[in-house]
Structures are given as structure tokens and as C-alpha cells.
């Protein structure tokens, strides 16, 4: 999905960035979670009790848990 920025009532399409590895994107999002989504980072690759894992675990500004 393309992203746009508004300049003087006009939309300008932003350049896309190709990322070779999902892990790089995950780290980029985690390192900028508050700026991007107003969430506080808690853990990466969180192991669940049923054998799975959560890529990114966070809480929103109201303290509600968020699974990414």
C-alpha cells in the first residue's frame, strides 16, 4: 500500500524502501515503536506457554497489551 504526505493541499507519494529480511523490518519497527504507533516495546520473540512465539510484544499508551 503506498504512503503519501500532504503538501499544500496535495498528496505526494513517498518512495518505498525494499527490505531484504523480515528481521530487519521487525527491529526497525521495535526500535521506533513509540514514534510509529504510540506503543511501548516490551519484548521481541516472546515465547508463549503453548510453544509459539510473539514477534513483538508491546503496550499502548493506555497500558493495553499489543501483539505484533
* Distances, alpha carbon 16 to alpha carbons 38, 58, 60, 66, in Å: 22, 26, 27, 26
> For residue 47, is it within any domain?
yes
Q: Which pLDDT score is estimated for 9?
A: 96
- 44 lies in which domain range? 20-67
Tell me whether residue 45 is in a domain.
Answer: yes
Residue 33, in any domain of the structure = yes
Chain centroid offset of residue 63 CA: 17
Decide if 41 is inside a domain: yes
Domains of the chain: total:
1
- Write down the pLDDT at residue 62: 96
Please list the ranges in the chain whose pLDDT falls under 70.
none
Domain assignment of residue 4, yes or no? no
Q: Does residue 11 fall inside a structural domain?
A: no
Q: Which residues pair with 47 in a beta bridge?
A: 53
Domain-located, residue 3: no
Q: Please give the pLDDT value at position 28.
A: 93
pLDDT score for 52: 93
pTM score of the predicted model: 0.70
Amino acid at each position: 500500500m503506498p504512503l503519501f504526505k500532504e503538501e499544500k493541499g496535495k498528496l505526494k507519494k513517498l518512495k518505498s524502501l525494499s527490505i531484504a529480511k523480515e528481521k530487519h523490518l521487525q527491529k526497525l519497527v521495535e526500535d521506533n515503536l513509540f514514534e510509529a504507533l504510540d506503543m511501548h516495546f516490551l519484548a521481541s520473540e516472546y515465547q508463549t506457554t503453548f510453544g509459539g512465539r510473539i514477534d513483538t510484544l508491546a503496550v499502548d499508551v493506555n497500558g493495553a497489551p499489543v501483539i505484533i
